[in-house]
Chains A and B, each alone.
Chain A
Amino acid sequence: MPKMTMVQALNMALRQEMEKDDRVIVLGEDVGVDGGVFRVTDGLIDRFGPDRVVDTPLAESAIVGMSIGMAVYGLRPVCEIQFSGFSYLNFHQIECHASRLRHRSQGRWTVPMVLRTPYGGGVRALEHHSESREVFYAHMPGLKMVIPSGPRNARALLVSAIRDPDPVIFFEPKAVYRAFREDVPEEEETLPIGKSLLAREGRHVTLITYGAMVRPVLEAADRLSQTDGIEPEVIDLLTLAPLDDTLLVESAKKTGRVVIVHEAPCSYGPGAELVARLVEKAFYFLEAPVRRVTGFDLIMPLFAREKAYLPNAERIVRAVKETLEAAA
């Protein structure tokens, strides 16, 4: 199996789906000749031509609004918004139309589109290029919200997202884009949208996370295991909406202690929903308060301070130890 970065794996997913299905159209700013600013769509225009890999004018609302029309027609548009920090301009089209057209037309028209966009900090980018606002989309009825954490699951999830009959928001952790390589099979591989993944088996505490935070969480888990004999269980959500809580409720019942990690701001963040689910479904099994290790409720600082903003393995290790020390 070839070893690939997440960028290469996403590129493979797009290429293979475009080969299989001429309804799949890639569109966005600089996705064609330039191959995307992160090179996710590199080479697709040479293979499929400018009618299927469309360099659009610079207008996020139009990219998404046009994708909605294309999807209603029966195509499978995969549009790219260059950075999630610019997706507020298309937010209106997602909220008012993509997420609602199936319901508004009572099932007559559907919007099988994918919106891909890089999110998150850690690559020393400009202002507006590093925020983590997945909860805006995860909160919206009628949408699916997916965040892969590595090359292999990114490829499998993108294939599933393209084939999904409903609109899927696909956040790509740009800190992971080229951070490491994984074996990615050339043969078709899909992952069900709406299922989380047991990323590490353990018994003392459950760590719940997703996206770019999976790596520091796994690093923290390894350190805790090696130096303190603590064996954390790690759950990688992969899908934020619809959130299937089966795995995390089971794990919380087993370990009795939970730490949630995300880089999005804390208040009303994804952690809040996870805590609520655990309280509703596993309260009597919990032996300590659920802890959150998250971004602060701040505008993402410029890159000189972004490391201090982002949760890291050390913060996670300390939170886990405090949770384990907490009295029931």
Chain B
Amino acid sequence: MPRTPLAVDSPLEYLAILDEKGEVDSALEPNLSQELLLKLYRFMVLGRRFDERMLQLQRQGRLGTFAPIKGQEASQLGAVAALEPRDWMVPCFRETAAQLWRGTPMESILLYFGGFDEGGRIPEGQKDLPVAIPVASQLLHAVGLAWAAKYRKSDEVAMTFFGDGATSEGDFHEALNFAAVYQTPTVFVCQNNQWAISTPRSKQTRSRTLAQKALAYEMPGLQVDGNDVLAVYTAAKEAVDRARAGGGPTFIECVTYRMAMHTTADDPGRYRSDEEVAEWTRKDPIARVEKYLAAKGMLTPQEMEAVASEADAAIQEAIQRYEEIAKTLGDPLQMFDHHFEEMPVHLLEQREELRRFLETENEEARHA
């Protein structure tokens, strides 16, 4: 009757490459083209400025509730940049920067959070799922997509995003388990932004890291500095390459910070300190990329200003387009569309009932 240690390997690692001073570990530095580095930088700036502008619009009553991304630009873009267009991206509700990278027009995001179902439309050719609000539920869709890709002997990969709170949900565990059992080409990207609304990471789970949860499912898992776009990209690229080559799923914990509120309906002042936010502000993912690119001679202060003003101009144009499109979307009967391929009789009847009501209401308004 022996009592011996179990043969469980622990290959877990922490990966950081670019620190907050902009200094880089040259041994780990990925060999990325200037084009890719500058594109990542442009989307980080665009994501940040679009997010800030959306917050203004929300405060002016021109948008509904949404989830700001401020602080999480590196973990989203570093991960999604490792995908090819033929791969699948399965977001939760805080992936604005990743959505922009994948080709979702800004006006679609504005329409969605402006209250129009039309904003959920995914452009042809873009293999993304729409945002998923119920926490962790979307991870299983990424496993199903990846399973299907494997069944079809395609080399597509499915990447899914979620937060630290999601790791407490049953669907998270079921998804990791299924993905590992079937060795599906799935990349799980956990944006550990420290807070699930008001519940801190330390109260979410007793685990010292989230990455170690991968061990239980016998899949590669690692923790990365989520504010370091080089580290996130490196980890994601390895995971995507492994998945594409038939090596199964990977779990990546990006240690990052949600610098703004959970959603615009939330007041983080109730549960966290200004000092904590200030500390993470020093770790800002965008500032360190600027230092890194400047040191490499790829970015001058003038070019930084140009990137910012180009982003602002694009955002302003998108807002104008959104407001023009929104004006044309007044027909409430649209709500009946896209429930079934063919509209069943009872829905045709209900649609007709609303149509007639609206018609008479309009007539009465004209006579009034």
Contact = CB atoms under 8 A, between A and B. Distances in A.
B225 to A, nearest CB: 30
Contact of A72 (B121, B145, B178, B344): B145
Contact of A165 (B118, B129, B341): B341
Given A65-B175, A104-B120, A108-B122, A74 B170 contact: no
A142 B171 CA distance: 22
Contacts of B121: 105-108
Interface string A36-61: 00000000000000010000110101
A190 B341 CA distance: 19
A69 B140 contact: yes
Interface stretch (A89-97, A213-221, A301-309, A320-328): A89-97
Interface string A95-132: 01100011111111110000000000000000000000
Contacts of B133: 96
A202 interface: no
B298 interface: no
A246 B348 CA distance: 14
A192 B174 CA distance: 35
A67 interface: yes
Given A92-B134, A107-B338, A165-B341, A70 B177 contact: no
Given A165-B341, A242-B345, A242-B347, A105 B129 contact: yes
Contacts of A67: 144
A101 B129 CA distance: 9
Interface stretch (B146-154, B230-238, B280-288, B358-366): B146-154
A248 interface: no
B178 A56 contact: yes
B158 interface: yes
A75 interface: yes
Interface in B105-164: 117-118, 120-122, 124, 129-130, 132-134, 137-149, 151-152, 158
A25 interface: yes
B171 A25 contact: no
B324 to A, nearest CB: 19
A244 B141 contact: no
Nearest to A243: B346
Contacts of B137: 65, 92-93, 96-97
Given A75-B151, A93-B140, A102-B338, A69 B145 contact: yes
Given A93-B171, A242-B340, 11 more contacts: A69-B140, A70-B147, A73-B145, A92-B137, A96-B134, A104-B120, A105-B130, A106-B118, A106-B338, A109-B122, A242-B344
A263 interface: no
A61 B143 CA distance: 12
A141 B178 CA distance: 29
Interface string A161-192: 00001100000000000000000000000000
B338 A66 contact: no
A71 B141 CA distance: 9
A25 B151 contact: yes
A106 B117 contact: yes
B141 A57 contact: no
Contact of A142 (B120, B181, B340): B340
Contacts of A56: 178
A103 B140 contact: no
A65 B147 CA distance: 12
